[in-house]
């Protein structure tokens, strides 16, 4: 059974699942403000200024905020129209987790929503995380999973996305250890946000596995920004899930900090599938920006079921294999 915002559901009822999204999120505190910003940085995001975020998603601060029940309902109804059934919402308290809003949105749209627990990366941490013990951080996650978040009675169905920075900080290691303890106890899947340009997946897997988490309950997120086939294959050989979760994000911050394009992601996916790794890959859009919502001119949560799916099948990935990564694989990861 798997916890959703409307209660437990069976593994078979997950159906088409995007394993890592954000319905609401507030990442504004994680955006660097240098004082050199253009005037447009402080303006509300609008379809008419979305060109500003073509290369840098944070060229407009407001792009880092997803909120509003009516807009979210529209976006998830669109996901359902594209054939989607379940969204894993990896937003944590420090970046705007909102269980009651998610319950309302799930009721209105019929889309299952699964919530996470734990703490994001260092920059986002609440100040109490620094002084908290591993055991108290584990207790927080236990409560979210087995009792409910705050006094809502709504239970988390996944751990994470636990955040790690380019250099994994002591506080992040503490949170990871706590996630490992609760992950081993509960057999819940553990999502870990890894820095986009480093290879911290090994360290993350070491910490979680040391606490007893099974490899197939660990998902190393964001491996598809800078495509490193050797890194990804080494992770896969350990038995963990890797997640191609940036479909729709093709930003070009600089030559060394560019995001891979969707077509490049598909070509690497095809290579991984041909080498027998199709059971260990999850696919999503990790929507965390206004520019990705259809309301603001983006492709929406259905992107992986429309344009990306088309690109995959055009490039020789069997439809059945592609859909397996959106049905069977997330169910295996999420089932406790």
Residues forming the site for Zn ion (CB under 5 A)? 90, 286
Any bridge partners for residue 25, and if so which? 66
Nearer to Zn ion, 91 or 112 (CB): 91
Nearer to Zn ion, 91 or 186 (CB): 91
Nearer to Zn ion, 140 or 243 (CB): 243
CB of 3 to Zn ion, least distance (A): 19
Nearer to Zn ion, 90 or 178 (CB): 90
Nearer to Zn ion, 138 or 219 (CB): 219
CB of 288 to Zn ion, least distance (A): 6
Instruction: Judge whether 282 and 329 are in contact, CB under 8 Å.
Output: yes
Pairing of strands 65-66, 86-89: unpaired
CB of 102 to Zn ion, least distance (A): 15
Cα separation of 107 and 205, whole Å? 36
Nearer to Zn ion, 18 or 327 (CB): 18
CB of 325 to Zn ion, least distance (A): 17
Q: Comparing C-alpha atoms, which of 16, 325, 4 is closest to residue 158?
A: 4
Instruction: Judge whether 50 and 276 are in contact, CB under 8 Å.
Output: no
CB-based burial of residue 31 (10 Å sphere; 0-12 exposed, 13-18 middle, 19+ buried)? middle
Nearer to Zn ion, 90 or 225 (CB): 90
Cα separation of 83 and 85, whole Å? 7
Q: Comparing C-alpha atoms, which of 24, 20, 32, 149 is closest to residue 95?
A: 24
CA dihedral 265, 270, 273, 274 (to 10 degrees): -150
Query: CB atoms < 10 A from the CB of 102, how many?
Result: 27
Q: Comparing C-alpha atoms, which of 247, 244, 245 is closest to residue 262?
A: 247
CB of 74 to Zn ion, least distance (A): 21
CB of 301 to Zn ion, least distance (A): 13
CA dihedral 242, 247, 250, 256 (to 10 degrees): 0
CB of 222 to Zn ion, least distance (A): 8
CB of 136 to Zn ion, least distance (A): 24
Buried b (16+ CB within 10 A) or exposed e, 108-128: ebebbbbbbbbbbbbebbeee
Buried b (16+ CB within 10 A) or exposed e, 250-259: bbeeeeeeeb
Nearer to Zn ion, 163 or 273 (CB): 163
Nearer to Zn ion, 175 or 273 (CB): 175
CB of 10 to Zn ion, least distance (A): 26
Please report the DSSP string for 184-231 in residue order: HHH---EEEE--TTS-THHHHHHHHHHTT--GGGEEE--TTTTT-HHH
């Amino acid at each position: 059974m798997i916890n959703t915002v409307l209660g437990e559901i069976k593994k078979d009822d997950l159906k088409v699942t995007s394993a890592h999204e954000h319905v609401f999120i507030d990442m504004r505190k994680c955006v660097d403000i240098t004082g050199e910003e253009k005037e447009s940085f402080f303006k509300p995001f609008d379809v008419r200024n979305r060109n500003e975020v073509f290369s840098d998603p944070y060229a407009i601060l407001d792009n880092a905020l997803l909120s509003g029940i009516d807009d979210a309902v529209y976006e998830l109804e669109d996901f359902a129209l594209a054939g989607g059934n379940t969204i894993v919402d990896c937003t944590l308290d420090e970046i705007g987790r909102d269980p009651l809003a998610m319950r309302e949105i799930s009721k209105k749209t019929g889309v299952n929503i699964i919530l996470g627990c734990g703490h994001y990366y260092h920059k986002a941490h609440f100040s109490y995380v620094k002084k908290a013990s591993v055991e108290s951080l584990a207790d927080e996650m236990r409560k979210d999973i087995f009792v409910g978040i705050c006094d809502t009675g709504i239970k988390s169905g996944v751990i994470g996305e636990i955040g790690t920075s380019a250099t994994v900080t002591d506080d992040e290691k503490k949170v990871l250890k706590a996630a490992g303890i609760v992950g081993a106890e509960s057999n819940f899947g553990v999502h870990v946000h890894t820095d986009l340009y480093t290879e911290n997946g090994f360290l993350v897997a070491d910490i979680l596995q040391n606490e007893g988490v099974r490899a197939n309950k660990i998902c190393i997120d964001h491996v598809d920004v800078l495509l490193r086939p050797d890194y990804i294959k080494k992770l896969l050989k350990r038995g963990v899930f890797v997640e191609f979760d940036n479909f729709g994000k093709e930003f070009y911050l600089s030559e060394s900090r560019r995001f891979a394009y969707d077509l490049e992601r598909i070509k690497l996916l095809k290579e991984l599938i041909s080498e027998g790794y199709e059971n260990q890959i999850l696919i999503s859009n990790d929507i965390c920006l206004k520019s990705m919502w259809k309301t603001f001119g983006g492709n929406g949560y259905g992107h992986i079921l429309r344009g990306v799916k088309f690109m995959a099948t055009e490039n020789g990935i069997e439809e059945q294999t592609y859909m397996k990564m959106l049905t069977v694989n997330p169910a295996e990861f999420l089932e406790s």
